Structure 1
Amino acid sequence: MNPAFSVIFLTTLIGAGQGLFLALYTGQVYGTFGILGGQLPPVNLYVNGTFIVMLLMGLGLFASFFHLGRPERAWRAATMWRTSWLAREVIVLPAFSGAAMVWGALYYFGIDPVLVVLGTVNIHLSLVVGFVATILAFLLYLCTGMIYAAVKFIQEWASPLTVVNYLLLGSASGFTLAAALAASQYSGLVMFFAMWAIIITLIGFATRMYSLRRNARLKRKTTACTAIGVRHPKITQISQGAMGGSFNTREFFHHQSPQVIKAIKLSFPIAVFVIPVTLLVIGWSNDSLVLLSLAFVVQYLGLLLERWFFFAQAWHPQNIYYAAT
C-alpha cells in the first residue's frame, strides 16, 4: 500500500493521546487505593495532562481530514456503525475525547465530590468518569486496529497482532510522555510512569517483532491463477493493459526501492524501542526532563516510521495485475 501521511499522523497522535490518558488515570487509581505509598499526584499533572491529551486528539482528528475526498460529509461515516469498524471509530473517538475532557475539567474546576466510601477509600466522581474514559480508550484502540485487521485479503494486517500492536505502541508512547510530563511538574511519579513505559515498550517490542516474523513467512493465498480462474501451473502477464498510471498503480504500492524499505525496517525498532528504553532508564534515575522528553520525541518519530512500514508492507491482491509489469 502507498502510506497516506494523514493516516499515519492520525493513528500515532490519537494513540499517544489515549496512552497518556491511560497513564494519568493509572496514576489516579494507584494513588486512590494507596498503591503509591500514600503519594497523590498533583492536580496540575492531571489538568496539564488532559490539555495535552485533547491537543493530541485534536491534531489527530485534524490530520484525518486530509485523506477525505469530501470532509464535510465525514459525519456520514458514523451511520454504518453496525458493520464498519471505521464508523465505530468515528463514534468512539469523540466519545473518548469528551469523557477525557470532563475528567480533566473536574480537576480544573475543583468539582470532584465523593460518591461512595469503600472502607477507607473515597471513590470520587473523577474516578468514575476516568473509568468510563478508560473503557472508551481501549475501545478506540480496538476500533482503530480492527479497521485494518478486518481486511482479510491483506494478509499482513489480518491478524490479532494488528490490534495488539496499536494498543501497546500507543500506550508506550503515552506512558513515556507521562514520565516527561511528571518530570516537568516535579512529581514523584516519574519512576512510576517511566517503569510502566519501559514494560509496555518491551512487550510491544516482542509483539511487533513477532508480527514482522509472521509477515515474512506469509504464503500468498491469491495468485494470477486464482484471480482469473485458469487452472494452469504458470500464468505470465506481459502487459498491464494501460498506457499510463492510474489510481490503482499509485495508491496500492509504496513506490520505494528495496533498500529504502530495508532501511526503515531496521531503523524503526531502534527508534521505537531501543533508544527510548535507554533514555527512560537514564532519565528516570536522574529525574531528567530533557532525557525523558527526548525519549518521547525519538519514540514518536520512530512510530511514524513504524506506521509507514505497516502500511507499505501490506500487499494488496490487485497488485497481481497492476504491479506485475
Structure 2
Amino acid sequence: MTNNPAPAMVDWDLAVSFGSRVAGEGPTVSREEAVAAVAELRAGADRSTGLVREFTGLVAEDRTAPVVVVDRPGWIQANADSFATILGPVIEQLAAKKRPPTGLALTVGSKVTGAEVGGLLGFLAGKVLGQFDPFFGANGRLLLVAPNIVHVERELGALPRDFRLWVCLHEETHRVQFTAVPWMRDHLFGEMQRIAETIEPQRLLDDGFKRVTEALKGGGGSLIDAIGTPEQKEIVDRVTGVMSLLEGHADVVMDGVGPTVIPSVAEIRRSFDQRRKGVGTLDRILRRLLGLDAKMAQYRNGAAFVRGVVGKVGMHEFNAVWDRPENLPSKAEITDPAAWVSRVL
C-alpha cells in the first residue's frame, strides 16, 4: 500500500489537463482589459474586508489569506489540490477496507478517475466566479476567476466596476467567516473524515451505479443522495446546514452592504438570480447530479435563516452562531429560524 494513496488512485495531472480542455479559455479580452480586471478585483477584495467587518461585526485580520486572481485552468489546478486534501481520508479509508489495486490496474483506474474528476472540474470551471478555499495552507486563499466574472458581467450587461465589487463582497465574506471563526475549517474537515469512516466499498460497488442512474433519470437528489448510507446522509445534513449558513450569510452581506457602495446592485441581483436557474437540458442534468440545484436552495434558505434571526434578535445576538460548533444550525433549523433562536439563545 502506498503511503499517500490519494495521488496514486487519482491521476490529478490528467484531471487538470482534461478539465482545462473541457472548460475552455472563456471570453476574449485584450491585455489591457485583463490587467485592469485583475487590478480591480484585487482592489475590490481589499476594500470588501472593512465593509464586511462593519456590517457583520466579525473581525478578521486584513490580508491573512492571499487573494489569487486566476483563469479557468488556474481554478481547476487549485481545486484539484484541494480535492486531493479533502479526499485523502476517504481514499485512505477505502484502501484500508479493501485491498487497493496495484500495477496496471492502478494506473488505468487512476486515469479513469482522473478523467472523471477532470470532467467535473471542467464543467464547474466555466461557472464559478469566486471561491474561498479554506484548506490551502494555514489561512486558506481567496480565488477570483477573472474570465468568468468578465463573461457574466457582459452577459448581464452589468457595469464592470459594480459587478466586480459585488462578487468580491460575497467571496470576502467567506474569507472573513473562516478567518474570524478559526474552528470552522477543522470542523468541516472533521465531517469529511467522518464520512470516510462510514464508507463501505463493497456496498458502493454492489448498487451504487444503479442508484446514480436512478438519480439521473429524475428520481431527485445528487450523488450523495444516490450512494449515501443513512449515517452518511446524517453527516451530510449537518454539513448542509453549515453550508446553507455560510452561503446565505454571504448573500445577506452582499445585499446589506451593496446599496451603500454599488449603485446598480438591485439590477445586478435581479439579473443574477435569473441566471442562477441554469439553461439547457444537459446543464439541468449535471446540476441535479452534482447537487447544484440544492446549492441554489442553500443560498435562498440560508439567507432567509440569517434574515429571520437578525430580524428577531439583531446581528450581535445572531453572531452567537459562530461561537462554537454546537451553535451551528441544523438542516431543519435553517428553515425554522425560531427553533434555532429557542435552542441557542
TM-score normalised by L of structure 1? 0.29
* Greater relative contact order (Cα < 8 A, sep 6+): 1
TM-score normalised by L of structure 2? 0.28
- As a proportion of its length, which structure holds more helix? 2
